[in-house]
């Protein structure tokens, strides 16, 4: 989806990071899940864009929030 938006609008959403850089930014990471997920070999140089990075993008904004509109 991110790539499609970039091709259509020339807008880059989120920040591409490696798993290694994500680990550096996290003060106390729990790697047990990731070791299990990757069978013990975490691909530290794999590049990814996290959902948090997408949400922090200056090009993303809330258009409608049902919690703020007063309707259920």
- The string of pLDDT tens digits covering residues 36-47 is 999 999 999 999
- The string of pLDDT tens digits covering residues 5-61 is 999 999 999 999 999 998 888 878 888 998 999 999 999 999 999 999 999 999 988
The pLDDT, as a whole number, for residue 26 is: 81
What does pTM read for this prediction?
0.67
Query: Domain-by-domain residue ranges, the chain?
Result: 2-61
Is residue 4 predicted with pLDDT exceeding 70? Answer: yes
Is residue 70 predicted with pLDDT exceeding 80? Answer: no
CA dist 66 to 6, 23, 31, 61, Å? 28, 35, 36, 14
Start-to-end CA distance of the chain, whole Å, equals 29
């Amino acid at each position: 989806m991110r790539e499609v938006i970039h091709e259509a609008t020339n807008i880059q959403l989120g920040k591409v990071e490696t798993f290694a850089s994500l680990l550096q930014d996290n003060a106390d990471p729990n790697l047990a899940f990731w070791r299990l997920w990757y069978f013990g070999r975490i691909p530290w140089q794999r590049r990814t864009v996290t959902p948090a990075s997408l949400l922090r993008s200056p090009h993303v904004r809330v258009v409608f929030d049902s919690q703020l509109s007063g309707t259920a």
